[in-house]
Amino acid sequence: MTTEPEVTLPDALAWLKTHTGAYPAKILEFVENKESLVKAERERCARICEQSEIPFDLELWRLSTKKEMTAHTARALADLIRTNKAGAE
């Protein structure tokens, strides 16, 4: 049994441009829409990171290394982003 090679969207678009001379309008519209959605999602995540306050237990702050504090902050921000509880809309 043969398997088809995985084709990425950029590869497919390059093939279409090579063989047709231009991108079909629907595919170009899809790509542009997807890019704007990705950009909006990145901005939403950035706002969550900027506006969030991550509480630290005093003992955690006093006894942790910088690496442990960074990991605590990263996990807390990831949880906020996943649950969308930061009110950054």
Helical segments of 1-89, H only = 9-20, 25-51, 58-63, 66-83
d(CA 75, CA 72): 5
Lowest mean pLDDT among 3-7, 36-40, 66-70, 78-82: 3-7
Residue 30 structure tokens? 């899809």
Asked if pLDDT for residue 79 goes beyond 90, the answer is yes
pTM given for the model: 0.55
Q: What is the mean pLDDT of residues 54-83?
A: 91
Give 7-57 pLDDT, tens digit per residue.
777 787 777 778 776 667 766 777 778 888 889 999 999 999 999 988 888
